[in-house]
Amino acid sequence: MTDQEYIEKAEQNLIHTYNRYQIVLEKGDGVYLYDVNGKRYLDFMAGIAVYALGYNNKAYNDALKDQIDKLMHTSNLFYSSILGDAAEKLTQASQMDRVFFTNSGTEAIEGAIKLARKYAFLRDGHTDHEIISMNHSFHGRSLGSLSVTGNTHYQEAFKPLIGGVVFAEYNNLESVRSKITDKTCAIIMETVQGEGGIYPATEEFIHGIRKLCDEHDILLICDEIQCGMGRTGTMFAYENYGIKPDIMTCAKALGCGVPVGAFGATKEVAKAFVPGDHGTTYGGNPFVLAAVSKVFDLFEEQKILENVKEVSAYLEEKLDALKDKYDFIIDRRGKGLMQGLECSIPVGTIIQKGLDNGLILVNAGTNIIRFVPPLTITKSHVDEMITLIEKCF
């Protein structure tokens, strides 16, 4: 089949919710993807921060194949032999006491919202609690997550959304403080805003939020779906700041390609949920947990965090040099291997030219080029990316 035939077959049968690039991908290896014509792409998008270990990682693939031959799925009414192992690795990595596995990021957010509301309900019996979320945040597309997503453009046509959500300015402590009422049960924030334009929380902001939460008995929910799992050089981005949320959400790189997410909580918060309060058919089935368990092993074996620290310092240096060299680049910001170049012009053309030249990048908003490569990249991949991106400038 030709590219055009693959594309037409898909478009004739799908609901058109994406303007997809005119590329049909077939396979991946390391930090490269290949399309059906065998054209190679250096991938600085990693399936949007999913493929942390790179493509075609043999140990990962073998672990999944083994699990397929044993058991793909069990009801959550049973234990599986991998369940405790994966849960223990996630609690240890996240410093949370208890976790719940979901199928996606948005479902992790739904669970986090429900848990925060239940916790507050048990405390005061009220059913009109409020959640403070941030402008320009992104938490997912299902209705609860959409309700806490600070982007009116995504929300407008789908109202009414869930109630009791108020928005404050990210990295503006006074703005958050002014929204606190005696109904506030939680503050939800990305530790590093992703879709909203790669904005890391400032030290002052996140410490201030933690303090406000402690003073007012409000739960802090850190959305680590994009910035978690090693991307910023620590397993979870909040570790960079030396704070701990009461509830955290993760997904994307948690399974490095299989659909799995999770929310975790402190022991005290987690016990607000009792059997019947929350559930999922697929969430945390043996197949995806074989991936999660192996991902944590491989992070250690392949010294992923060390690599992120080393290569990200180099990437920052190279991106800063681009910023100095090109007038249209206004800012470089980010943490670890989650970086953004803010431009004075829309970046769509640059990203398209990247594809033509064999480089995959992704935007964050109209004006920001986002860099979220596999965490296995080396300095020479950074050099290769810089050469390719300069061709597009």
Ligand X SMILES: *Cc1c(COP(=O)(O)O)cnc(C)c1O
Residues in binding contact with ligand X, number by CB under 6 A: 14
Name the segment binding ligand X (CB under 6 A); options: 127-135, 189-197, 278-286, 368-376.
189-197
**Separation CA 112–CA 115 (nearest Å):** 5
Question: Residue 389's closest CA among 361, 368, 364?
Answer: 361
Closest to ligand X by CB, 192 or 388: 192
The tokens describing 333, both together, are: 């910001």
Interface with ligand X includes 194 (CB under 6 A)? yes
Q: Which stretch binds ligand X (CB under 6 A): 80-88, 103-111, 112-120, 350-358?
A: 103-111
Which candidate, 273, 261, 202, places its Cα nearest to that of 228? 261
- Interactions with ligand X, residue window 110-169 (CB under 6 A): 138-140
Does 245 contact ligand X by CB under 6 A?
Answer: no
Q: 68 pairs with which residues across the strands?
A: none
Q: In which residue are the tokens 């609860």 written?
A: 144
Site for ligand X in 314-373 (CB under 6 A): none
Tell me the two tokens of residue 292.
Answer: 């999660």
Under the binding rule (CB under 6 A), the answer on residue 63 touching ligand X is: no
Closest CA to 256 of 209, 317, 298, 316: 298
What is the helix (H) or strand (E) element at residue 133, kind and residue range? strand 130-134
Distance, in Å, from the CA atom of 176 to the CA atom of 169, rounded to the nearest integer, reads 7
Helix, strand, coil percentages in the chain from 3-state DSSP, rounded to 5: 40, 20, 40
Closest approach, Cβ 311 to ligand X, in A, equals 21
* 130, 223, 246, 342: residue in contact with ligand X (rule CB under 6 A): 223
Residue 280 or 302: the one with the smaller Cβ distance to ligand X is 280
Position among 42, 198, 206, 225 found at the interface with ligand X (CB under 6 A): 225
Q: How far apart are CA 358 and CA 34, in angstroms?
A: 9
Residue closer to ligand X, measured from CB, 195 or 342: 195
Contact between residue 155 and residue 124 where contact means Cβ atoms under 8 Å apart = no
**Minimum Å distance from CB 287 to ligand X?**
17
Q: Where is 312: in which H helix or E strand? A: helix 304-325
Q: Residue 185 or residue 189: which is nearer to ligand X going by CB?
A: 189
With binding defined as CB under 6 A, does residue 229 bind ligand X?
Answer: no
Of the residues 251, 254, 260, 288, which one makes contact with ligand X according to CB under 6 A: 251
Pick the closer one to ligand X by CB: 106 or 363: 106
Among the listed ranges 99-107, 208-216, 310-318, 353-361, the one in contact with ligand X (CB under 6 A) is 99-107
Pull the structure tokens for residue 10.
């898909």
Query: According to the binding rule CB under 6 A, does residue 104 interact with ligand X?
Result: yes
Which residues sit at the interface with ligand X, rule CB under 6 A? Answer: 104-106, 109, 138-140, 190, 194-195, 223, 225-226, 251
